[in-house]
Amino acid sequence: FFLKGQNPTNRQIGFHLGTDLGIHGVNASYWLTNRYIVKNTLKIEPKEWRVPVLDDFSRTTLRKPHAWASDYTLQGALILSLIQTDQYKNLKTTRNFANLWVQNMLFTANLTQTAKIVFQRKRPYTRDPNFVSDGANDHFYSFFSGHSSITAAAAATSMWMAYRYPSSQTSKITAWASTGLALTTGALRITAGKHYPSDVLMGWAIGTGVSILNGWIHEKL
C-alpha cells in the first residue's frame, strides 16, 4: 500500500511555506476553539452506549497500572517516530518529515478532542458499581481513544516516510517498532478499562487516515 505508485527514489515530499504556515494556523485556531468550548460552553450530557458484540469485551473496572503503561507506550511510539527524522541524509527531507509529523499529530489531536466533546461517551470504568464520579470531564471522554489515534498517526507517518522515500533499514525498523507500540497502547487502553474496543479501533483509523491524507497532500505541493 505505502509503495503503490512511482518509484520511491523519484518521489518527493513537498513543502510550501505559505500553505504549511496556513495549515499550522488552522491547527492552532482549531486547538484554541476546542479549549474555549471545554472551558466556557461545554455542558456534560454523558452517554452510555456500546457497539453490540465488539464492546462486550471491554473491562468495567479501572486498572491504573495498565493506564500508566499505556502512557509509557504512547511516549515510546512518539519517540521512535521522531528518531526517524535523523535517518535521512537529505536535510530537506528531514525538515519536511518533521513538518509533516507535527501537522499529523496536531490534526489528529484536534479531531480527537472534538469527537470527545461531541459524543461525550462514558468510559467503561464508569459502569463499575463502586465508581464514584469526581465531576471530571475525562469520565465522559471515551470516544474515541486519543492514545490510539495519536500513536497511530505517529506510526503511520513513520511507515509513510520509511516506505515511500529512500531510507535506511534502521528507518524501517523504527517505523515497525512504533507501529507495534501503537497496537500495544490501544490494547492497554482496553484492558485498563479506559476505552471500549470501538474507541480504540476508531482512534487507529482516524490517526492513520489523517497521516495518509496529509502525506498525499504534501506530495502534491
Provide the pLDDT confidence category of residue 123 given band limits of 50, 70 and 90: very high
pLDDT in tens, 167-201: 678 888 999 999 999 999 999 999 999 999 999 99
pTM of the model: 0.88
Query: What number is the average pLDDT over the span 44-69?
Result: 89
**pLDDT above 50 for 1:** no
**For residues 76 and 4, which has the higher predicted lDDT (pLDDT)?**
76
Vertex 64 angle, CA 58 and 67, to 5°: 70
pLDDT at residue 6 above 50? Answer: no
CB environment 93-131: b (16+ within 10 A), e (fewer): bbebbebbbbbbbbbbbbbbbebbbeebbbbbbbeeeee
∠ Cα 192 103 97 (to 5°)? 105
What pLDDT, on a 0 to 100 scale, did the predictor assign at position 124? 94
> Cell 522515500 maps to which residue?
165
Confidence (pLDDT) at 185: 98
With bands split at pLDDT 50, 70 and 90, how would you rate the model's confidence at 83?
confident
pLDDT digits (tens, 9 = 90+) for 19-53: 788 888 988 999 899 888 988 888 888 888 888 88
Put residue 162 in one of left, alpha, beta given phi > 0 → left and psi -120 to 50 → alpha: alpha
| DSSP string for 10-66 | G------HHHHHHHHHHHHHHHHHHHHIIIII-----B----TTGGGG--SS--HHH
Confidence (pLDDT) at 5: 47
Measured CA to CA in angstroms, residue 90 lies from 2, 85, 87, 96 at distances of: 21, 10, 9, 10
Tell me phi and psi for residue 132, to 5 degrees.
-125, 120
